[in-house]
Structure 1
């Protein structure tokens, strides 16, 4: 004969667990603090990116561009070649200093490649968009920026051997 304990109703394990007000307040506080920390980091990084973009924004006259046929006919060479994030840069002489710079004056999300040269004489840029040749001249500093695989060269630079 069954005992009275066996006739108890079975437990319902499918019942919904209820969270109290303390759980909700705790979750809101944690999400709010995380949001503030992320916002703080983004603002701090944005300010640093803007300062970097201003420091690497070099103004000057455009570098004389040379056609591929003229480059070959004059037997110009750029033996000092290096790869910078998938873009191959070559120069005849001098030193180079490069930096990643956020576009739109440092406020953008894309990264541009910017290199300053002390005395390149000639420059070559090979990117997915093609190869471009520049003749800067002897003793002339230059700055080369690559935005969305399209190079732009100016005859000016803040980079010298003293600023290394």
Structure 2
């Protein structure tokens, strides 16, 4: 009778230890899942659909007499005529992290210039129209649209 009780107690201790080890082993996978889910959510949030911004030739009147508001972000230089901006650096890829790219949303820039190692591109989304600029692999693209409203 005493031997059976000892075996049951040993079995319960082993089950408790196994459950604890299973819990400890699942923590890294939970962290990986949370990181992956956050990366996917950020990329989706900053993926804005819309018509392409018109690409224009550089012109003195593009930014008006005051000149552009200019800042650098993610290896590119951004210039705008009006408004405010919000930027992020989402990471592409699925479970295996991909390249980091840069996205900036403008709430009403009228005109934009984006200088990258590939060259300078001039966009004219229009007065009061939001624009989202994405820089991937040194190439800038722009769509009319975005959710940023400072």
Give TM-score, length-normalised by structure 1. 0.68
Change (3 A) 1:133 1:122: same
Structure holding more strand per residue: 2
SS of residue paired to 2:90: strand
In structure 2, the gaps of 5 or more residues are 1-22
Q: Where does residue 16 of structure 1 map in the other structure?
A: none
Q: Which of 43, 46, 53 lines up with 2:33 in the alignment?
A: 43
In structure 1, the gaps of 5 or more residues are 1-32
Give, in angstroms, the shift of residue 34 of structure 1. 9.4
Q: Where does residue 75 of structure 1 map in the other structure?
A: 61
Give, in angstroms, the shift of residue 41 of structure 1. 2.9
Residue 51 of structure 2 contacts residue 143 of structure 2 at CA under 8 Å; is this kept in 1?
A: yes
- For structure 1, which segment, 101-110 or 130-139, has the greater mean C-alpha deviation from structure 2 after superposition? 101-110
Change (3 A) 1:106 1:116: farther
Give, in angstroms, the shift of residue 37 of structure 1. 5.3
Q: Which has the larger radius of gyration?
A: 1
Give TM-score, length-normalised by structure 2. 0.74
Q: Where does residue 127 of structure 1 map in the other structure?
A: 116
CA-based RMSD of the aligned residues comes to: 2.4
Residue 62 of structure 1 contacts residue 155 of structure 1 at CA under 8 Å; is this kept in 2?
A: yes
